[in-house]
Amino acid sequence: MYNFWQKLKKPLVGLAPMDGVTDYPMRQIQVSVAKPNVLYTEFVSAEGFIRNSKAFSQKLYFQENERPIIAQIFGYTPEAFAETINQIIEMDFDGIDLNMGCPARKVLGKGGGGALIGNYKLAGKIIEKSLEATKANNPFIMANFSCLCNFRPINFSAVTLF
């Protein structure tokens, strides 16, 4: 399995995913000034992506000089994660990051992001469906799970990742 994380020079410097900030023009400026080891897209709603994939695909546009690049998605519906991942894999990202820690009220209000902290059952279903979609379409893409863990301890031992 190709794991670009193992090939990156240490210490790692990454451009974190920031909604409304890490869009294509900003990433291109960053690459031209000082390219980090890894880049992330701004996060994209899984539910929004399946409703309007054309508009959301534009948010995920990238060029080869941005590699390795990871698409970050958030949401609250396991099926939406799986369907979004199916389409994101076709875009040839190096990795997919499932956001389970965003503290923004509009994300929390629908049950996504940080609202998944402590909701082990839903988080587990999202991870399970996401891994199924990943394995079915590209077993070599990296699946990362970001979680803002300082609210309370998190135990993913109940979730079989592989």
Report residue 161 CA to chain centroid gap.
Answer: 16
Given 15, 38, 46, 102, the catalytic residue = 102
Look up 102 and say whether it is catalytic: yes
Burial 46-73 (b: 16+ CB within 10 A, else e): bbbbbeebeebeebbebeeebbbbbbbb
69 DSSP β-pair partners: 39
Q: Rounded CA gap, 125 and 77, in Å? A: 9
Q: Are 73 and 118 in contact (CB under 8 A)?
A: no
Could you list the active site residues? 102
